[in-house]
Each structure stands twice: as structure tokens, then as C-alpha cells.
Structure 1
Amino acid sequence: MVKTKTARSIDDRLKSVVWDDQSPLSVAIESPKGKIQTRHGRFVGGRADGVEIVRIDTGAVVVNVLPTRGMAIWSIESDSGRFGWHSPVDGPVHPSLVPIHDPSGLGWLEGFDELVVRCGLESNGAPEHDDSGKLVYPLHGRIANLPADGLQIEFDEVSGRLELIGDLRESRLFFTNLRLNSRIRVHAGSAAVQIFDDVTNERSTPATVQLLYHVNVGQPVLEDGSKLILPIEELAPKDKLSAGEIESFNEFGEPQVGYAERVYFAKLRSDAANLTSVMLQNADASQALALTYGTKTLPRFVLWKNTADPADGYVTGLEPATNFPNQRSFEASHHRVVEIQPEQTVCFRVTIDPLSDSESVAEMAERIRKLAGDQPPLIHPSPRPGWSPGA
């Protein structure tokens, strides 16, 4: 009789994690709101070897954070299913194996696997080459492939609040020295996940920054009949191909072999506190993923549609950003970079709400409808000059 013993699973990556229950990042806290627990470990084997993971269980959801991959949120799990997507990359992939500076500029895609990944900080958009063909800015920047340092957990037993804190540094002698301090905050008994990112310029001269939150949603929330609800002030397709689906830009179909990505750029309406929300809901509005974020520092929104065959990545991206993800020089020419003075800090806030019942989905939809107001949105049928190169 043939028998098999498996040391590493390729079907369930979490089975390849070696957990360290003695780590200071592995805690169990009792609060009046309920119990909250964390576990700290590392993946063993394959391209994930050495990637740190912190698993946070609030009692309502489980949040999987990858400090090694730029404090990315790999996935969120709830009783209704997994919030994230099934990438062909099948990560997580250790940053040392991601060829960010591949001559094509597209090496970033070899590590793209998470629910929430940051793009930036020097640039966050399309790859850009100089006149000689040399790569200047790689796709989506470096921050997603920089390991976090200074990891710590801070908690308040009275309120049930817990924060996982990490520092990311994007620096090069004579060029840049940017520090991103990230706090991922949760509360016992709550499904909401809050991201507090503070970017500081630690050089003695001014710096410019771009930041985009690439929030990627696949099945089961994304399906035939899913819909994106958002309070549009102005929206335009990125290119001619995307313009062909402008009438149904916020509607999603079944997986399609050979589907080419569509992208839409937008400015959204916000409330008096400069907060706005967007939500992707499934076909029967029983499950959704919503984002709430500050438009003062994240004034742009990008929708990325990639309803390809699951083998190629059936996913859509909801992307609050400082700018549109064009080449950096184009964005800079339209003043869509953030200037940070020496020792100045700019704060970015994003809340992720995984919604698992019809009532909470309806409540978020109503909030967004109120944000939208009664004034019709301005929707351009073709790429908008100043937003898309060549428009």
C-alpha cells in the first residue's frame, strides 16, 4: 500500500505555517466586548518560505496580515466565506523572489496575491522608462515588497481594541528616505478593519509621494450579477477599450476566457468630514465588501475590472489613491503627487468592512446613496483629457 506524508500543503497555504505561540505577537485578550486573539508565524517552503504572518481573530472575522509583504492584508475570513481572491500567483511570495526591477517594469505582478496591497511610495502607477529604454519607475512601486520592522501589538482590554503596528522604509542614500508607519486596528466582536498609515519624509529636503490602496475582491462576493455602488461626482474610462463598457462599468459578469482588463478613473463625493464609501455587493446583495476612506489625502478612486477566467484571475480592484495610476511623469505634470516637507507626516485612513448579511449591505448602500445626493454624476463616455494620456 502506497502512503504519503506531506510536510507542506499547496492546497491550503496556512498548513505550511509554523506558528510561534511564544512570540510577543501571539496574544489572547479578554475584554467586555469579547475575546480577541493573535498568532504569529512564518511560512515554510516554496516561494512563501520565510514570509511572516500575523493572524488576528476578533470573534467576528479573522484577519491575515503579512508584515514581510509591506503589511499587506492577505485575506479576511468570516462565517460567510473568505474575502480576497484566488490569484494565479498562488502566494504569498517572499519579496526576495519578486523581480521588481525586471527590465519590463512588470515584475511586481509575480507577487500580486493579497486582498489589500499598497502601491507607492515614490510611484504607484504604470511602469516608466527613460529615452534609452532604462526602467525608471516599476509597476506600482516598491512598498508592497518591503518587509516591516518594529513589529508590535498594542491593545486596550477595556475597549477591546487591538493594533498591529509595523514600520516600512523606502530609502536610498542621496535620493529618498520615506517611512510608512502602519497601524492595522480591530476591535473584539467587530468585523471592521481599520488601516492607519502615516507617511513621513525623513530627509532634510522636500519629497513627493504617491500612494494607492489596491483592494482586490474575487469570489464569492464577485460573481455574475455583482454590482459596485459608489457616490460619483465625476468618472471616466481610462482608455478606448474601457469606454466600450461605460454603460455597465459598475456591473460584473461571469468569468470570461480572454477578458482584457478595464479601468475607470473617478472623483467621489464625500461628507462634511471628508469621508466617502464604496461597496461591491454580490448578486443578491447578501454579502459585500465596503471601503470607507478620507478624500482629503486620497482624492482619487480607481476601479479595475478583470473578470477573466478564474485560472487567469477573476477579480476586481477598488482603489482609493492620491492620484491615477498612470506613469509618474504624467501624474506629476498634472500636479497629482503629494509634496511632503522635511519631517512632515501625511496621514491616510482606510476602513474595510466585510459585510455578511443583507441588512448590513442595505445599510451601507443607503449611506452611499446619501453621499451621492440628488445631483446627477458627470460620467464621460470617453477618456478625459488630463486624466488619461493621449485623451
Structure 2
Amino acid sequence: MKRSDSTDRFNQLQSVSRHRTAPKAKAIHSMASSTVTLIDARGDAQAGSAAIADGSSHSLGPLTVRTQRLRGGRREGVLEVELVAGTTRVIVLPDRGLGLWKIFSGAIALGWQSPVQGPVHPRHVPLAEPSGLGWLDGFDELVARCGLVSNGAPDFDASGTLRHGLHGRIAHLPAHWLEVTLDDTAGTITLKGAVDETRFLSHALLMTTTLTVDANRPRVQWTDAVTNLSDRPATMQMLYHINFGPPLLGAGAELVAAVEELAPRNAAAVSDLSEWHQFVSPQAGRGEQVHFARLRPAGDGRATAMLVSPDKNHAAGVSWRTDTLPFFTLWKNQGGSADGYVAGIEPGTNFPNSRSFEESQGRVVPLSPRESVSFDLAIEYLTGPAVAAQRSRILAAGAGQPPTLHPRPRPDWSA
């Protein structure tokens, strides 16, 4: 199946889902809600507990959940779960750490056009490649989680052997449990799932996710809880690689955020410092430029970064709690369109340097045995007057204070 653009890809998904006849997923019904179990591989594998609904569809009022296995190329076998609530549609990838491939609000697709023809099945992504860059072979989601042991640049030991690959492993690990609840009274779909990142004699981390889509608002919100299942203390990292291309990104697009402090990641980003919040047209051969920052949260403890389209009439707002995601990375990849013209809004527990550097700076999350940490985020599509209203709320969090802009990389922020 060849993909042309995001809208065509979604229309294909709708068509396949409408016309496919397949067994129904296991469902539990009440008067106003219905819970569908899509994956349950918990417990003893020999007991036959694993169950998966492939190619099923389940609806309740304006709410629908559909599943399909993709065919062809490197996407062969990837499970897509499509959540439809009113005019909002979300495609979740259980095989890729419950990442979000695209969000659609009406005809608007939130995501980007990667040169990688995805979603790519994890078996085709060489995470252990000696360069440490194998992660990039599968990168094309709107939301890709980075972690859980490591979330930044490749990390090598003194002999040059790879210790941690780029952005970690969680985005290429499959969910072992997944259920979806449709609540017609509230007008919401709630997806819950779990993914393990475990290695014998090393680490045992469990990520459980609760994601909600509202039929009455073009907003997707989720909470990830990461638990240390080991009897030993552990440390972890998390970064959310949230990526936008056209139609929101283009010449004249801007990022609105209440920045407290910002510094270029490296020398390549220094020339972009005065225009850190502005975007230009795709330029073939232009390298990526990255800025590290801390944002000022609003009174509710949440920070928001909003990407505003060139015509100022459309935007995507990303918000998160800063008590557990205190650091912010802005990734500007403004090369040629065919090479991936994209902006990344990336809240994290740390900056995406190598784990060893971040650990030396105290930017890892300690977890006692059975201790958990939670991360709350949301993405909302905004249009018309809602864009200006959100801009005012973001600027109010800054209280009129200009950001501190460092002319060079901070040595304690950049490796």
C-alpha cells in the first residue's frame, strides 16, 4: 500500500475499516459505555491469555474504535488502532510503544511527512546498529516517546561500544495490554495500555498509558505512569518527540511559549538564536537547529507551546505538567520538503544529550522499588479566535518578563 499524503492515507484507512469483515473484539457493555479489550497478553502465555482484535470495528453513538493490520513494505504487520470521537480522529500504534501516528481534526492532519514510509514495524529498525542512529529508520510519528532508560543522543563507553542508542527503546516495544472504553454520555473514548521495558539483571520498567479523546473538543490528552518493578532502585528518562509539518509549518509560522531561559544546543544553532521562535520555507541542505529551554508554567502548573500557522488562523497547542517534565527542546529541521520539513516540540525530564552526560548533571529520574512517576500531556487543534485566546493565556504565564537568551550553548546543558 503506497502512501501519497496524510489525508489520502487516512481515507484509505477509513475505507478499509468500513469494508472489512472481521471478528469483534471482546466487549463489556453498560447502558452508556462499552469497554473493548484489544490486547491482553498478561500472565502465562501458555494459558492462552493473549487476545487481539485484528480488523474489528466497534461504535457507540458518535464514538468508534477500529483496528487493522497494515500490509506491504516495512509497515507489514503493524497494528493501527483508530479512535474516532466526533470530528477528531487519532491513530495509535500499539506495536510502536503506543505512539500517535497522526491526529486529524476534520480535514486537518497533525503530523509530518517523513521520508520514511511508515509506520515501520519495529523488526525493521536496527536499534543496536553500531552508529547508534538506527532509531531514525522508523521515525515518522506525530508523537514518539523517547526513553525509558535513555532518551537522548547515542551513548558510547570508553572503548567506543554503543551503550544506549538514539532516543532509547520504548518507541519500538509492543503493548502487552490494551483496552478502549467508549462513553456515550461523556462523549469520550479512553484508551488504556501497558508497555514493558525490561532486561534481566538490568532494569524492569513498566509504562501504563491512559489516553482520552473528546467528541466535543479537538483535544487529545494522556497520562503515562512509569513504574520501577524491580526490587532495586532505578533511574529513568522520558522525552516526548512531538512533530509537526505543513500545513501548520511554513514560512512565517511561529512558536508561542513563555520561555524563561533558552540556549542554542550547539554552534550550528547560534545563528538562529534571534529567530528561535520563527520558521522559514524549506531549504534544501539546511541542517537542523536545536534550542534548549525552560518554560514558565501557568498557575495550574502546566506549560504550553503553540505552533501557529503562517496565516495565524490555525495552531496546535502542546501542554504538559512541568513538575515532572521540567525541560524543553525545540527542534527545527528546515531542510528540503523531501528530506523531512518538520518542527519538534519536545518536553522532557532532561535535555536529549547522551545519558552519561545527563546523569552527570543530575537529570535522571530516580525511582525506588515499585515507585512510579507520571507525565501528563495534551495536544489541541485550535482555529480562528481560539488561536488568539491561547496566545494570550501563554503570554500571561510569562507575566511580561522577557526570556533570558544565552548567546552560546550552556556547558551544563549541552554535551
Q: TM-score range by the shorter chain?
A: over 0.9
CA shift digits 1:344-378 (9 cap, x unpaired): 110100000022x2211111111101111122211
Q: Does 1:197 align with 2:197?
A: no
Aligned to 2:30: none
Which stretch has the larger CA shift, 17-26 or 330-339? Answer: 17-26
- Structure 1 position 122, deviation (Å): 0.3
Contact preservation (8 Å) 2:197, 2:205: yes
Aligned to 1:155: 182
| C-alpha distance in structure 1 between counterparts of 2:107 and 2:71, whole Å | 28
Aligned to 1:125: 152
Number of paired residues? 377
Q: Does 1:265 align with 2:292?
A: yes
| C-alpha distance in structure 1 between counterparts of 2:125 and 2:357, whole Å | 26
Aligned to 1:136: 163
Task: Choose which of 270, 280, 283 in structure 2 pairs with 1:243.
Answer: 270
Task: Choose which of 14, 20, 27 in structure 1 pairs with 2:58.
Answer: 27
- How is 1:1-391 mapped onto 2 (pairs within 5 angstroms)? 8-11=1-4, 12-13=8-9, 15=12, 20=22, 22-23=24-25, 24=36, 25=38, 26-30=57-61, 35-355=62-382, 357-389=383-415
Contact preservation (8 Å) 1:151, 1:167: yes
TM-score in terms of structure 2 length = 0.88
| C-alpha distance in structure 1 between counterparts of 2:268 and 2:133, whole Å | 21
CA shift digits 1:178-201 (9 cap, x unpaired): 000011111122210001100000
- Structure 1 position 155, deviation (Å): 3.3
Structure 1: 5+ residue stretches without partners? 1-7
Contact preservation (8 Å) 1:305, 1:317: yes
Which residue identity is paired with 1:9? K
- Other structure's SS at 2:218 match: coil
| C-alpha distance in structure 2 between counterparts of 1:13 and 1:276, whole Å | 32
Q: Percent identity?
A: 44
Contact preservation (8 Å) 1:215, 1:317: yes
| C-alpha distance in structure 1 between counterparts of 2:165 and 2:203, whole Å | 16
- Other structure's SS at 1:228 match: strand
Contact preservation (8 Å) 2:191, 2:212: yes
Which stretch has the larger CA shift, 100-109 or 267-276? Answer: 267-276
Contact preservation (8 Å) 2:256, 2:307: yes
Structure 2: 5+ residue stretches without partners? 26-35, 39-56
Which residue identity is paired with 1:28? S
| C-alpha distance in structure 2 between counterparts of 1:295 and 1:78, whole Å | 27
- Other structure's SS at 2:166 match: coil
TM-score in terms of structure 1 length = 0.94
| C-alpha distance in structure 2 between counterparts of 1:133 and 1:187, whole Å | 48
CA shift digits 1:314-360 (9 cap, x unpaired): 001000000000011110011000001110110100000022x2211
- Structure 1 position 21, deviation (Å): 6.6
Which stretch has the larger CA shift, 202-211 or 9-18? Answer: 9-18
Contact preservation (8 Å) 1:58, 1:190: no
| C-alpha distance in structure 1 between counterparts of 2:215 and 2:60, whole Å | 9
CA shift digits 1:11-34 (9 cap, x unpaired): 35553767547234532122xxxx
